[in-house]
Amino acid sequence: MSSRRNCLVNLSLKEASTTNAGLWLDKFIRNQAEDDKKSRRLLVDDVAGIKEPDEYSLWFKRWEGTLLNYGAQCRVAEVLGRMAVGLGEESVLETSVALHHTYGVPYIPGSAIKGMAASFARQYLGDDWQVDNPAYKTVFGDTDNAGYIIFFDALPLPGTGHSYPDVITVHHKDYYKKGNLPPADWDSPNPVPFLSATGKYLVAVAGPAAWTNAVFEILQYAFLELGVGAKTSSGYGRLKLKPAPIVTDKDQEKADQLIGQIKALKNPEVAGRIHAFYEQWKSIEINAEQKRRIAEAIIAKVKEAGREKQSREKSWYKDLLASLVD
């Protein structure tokens, strides 16, 4: 028997291409019978096929700007292989996944990042970073006081956060479930579908500068050695934290000057002059972070002038968009 309402029984993912992936995962399983493995596998395949909403890139830029205005330090971490976060949370399946409640993209909760960093500190950083010592309490807090460092949720850079169908194969189901039957070679494997994720994620922490620097040093190794989320013993959840960009006053001055010119451009002038700013962006020799700022300013001006639709298929505009994904 279908678990959907009658009016939704035949709804296909193609007809709801703009839906929220988390909503589809929670509400649109075809059949909730415990032994209906096909419906569960199809549900995982459906959710993995849902694309990132078009509005997400705009929201992400506001989110990043809010973090920077708050004084947070931000670094990008790239998943090496696959990541399974939120696998044990409540779900219509036997497994779950952490998806953003509004945009349905995979993300890493700040609590998971903090827990991983705290575990790494206790295991590998010696006596100075044990639970009762000042350094540990300063960063992570204790039962009486919060730590000085805020760990924000890590959201995927636009165009990079993808979900994929994956599978856990339990070979001795009755042994694990009942406990009174021994595992045997004739037990039937029981494939359990789940969703894993890839992508580049914006990792942000806020607090006193010296301590946030220390936290990023911890995260650099914790992401590689421990991993985040579930199935880390099988290689899931490893990320590589990119180094902090080196910003020089000269580079920032060049970028600020060009961005000022772009912002001063009047909307009716955009069609005839914006490509010249793209050429300057392409040839300017400054660090990657400042170059990214210029690309964002050009794209913002195109949108402000209402010329995004006309520019979307242009090679120069695609080049700018691609630079923001790297």
Place of tokens 């009658």: 6
Are 187 and 174 in contact by the 8 Å Cβ rule? The answer is yes
Distance of alpha carbon 151 from alpha carbon 268, whole angstroms: 43
Give the pLDDT score at 179: 65
212 pLDDT higher than 90: yes
> Strand 73-79 and strand 190-198: pairing?
unpaired
pTM above 0.75, yes or no: no
8 falls in which pLDDT band (50, 70, 90)?
Answer: low
Domain boundaries, the chain: 12-241, 249-325
Separation in Å, CA 228 to CA 23, 108, 219, 318: 24, 8, 10, 33
Residue 319 neighbours by CB distance under 10 Å: 13
117 pLDDT higher than 80: yes
326 pLDDT higher than 90: no
Separation in Å, CA 183 to CA 180, 188, 258: 10, 10, 68
170 pLDDT higher than 80: no
**Dihedral through CA 115, CA 117, CA 118, CA 124, nearest 10?**
140
Give the pLDDT score at 17: 59
15 pLDDT higher than 60: no
252 falls in which pLDDT band (50, 70, 90)?
Answer: confident
Report the half-sphere exposure of 323 (CA within 13 A, side-chain side): 22
Q: Which residue has the higher pLDDT, 88 or 109?
A: 109
Least confident of 30-44, 264-278, 312-326: 30-44
Least confident of 24-28, 109-113, 232-236: 24-28
pLDDT digits (tens, 9 = 90+) for 33-77: 655 677 778 888 888 888 888 899 999 988 988 888 788 899 999
Distance of alpha carbon 34 from alpha carbon 8, whole angstroms: 21
Q: What is the CATH number of domain 12-241?
A: 3.30.70.1900
Which of 85, 107, 37, 75 minimizes the C-alpha distance to 228? Answer: 85
Report the chain's mean pLDDT, rounded to a whole number.
85
Distance of alpha carbon 9 from alpha carbon 6, whole angstroms: 5
236 falls in which pLDDT band (50, 70, 90)?
Answer: very high
- Report percent pLDDT > 70 for the chain: 85
pLDDT digits (tens, 9 = 90+) for 125-148: 999 899 999 999 999 998 888 899
314 pLDDT higher than 80: yes
Give the pLDDT score at 11: 62
Distance of alpha carbon 276 from alpha carbon 109, whole angstroms: 41
24 pLDDT higher than 90: no
7 pLDDT higher than 60: no
Which of 247, 262, 259 minimizes the C-alpha distance to 302? Answer: 262
Q: Which residue has the higher pLDDT, 35 or 215?
A: 215
* Residues written for the chain: 326
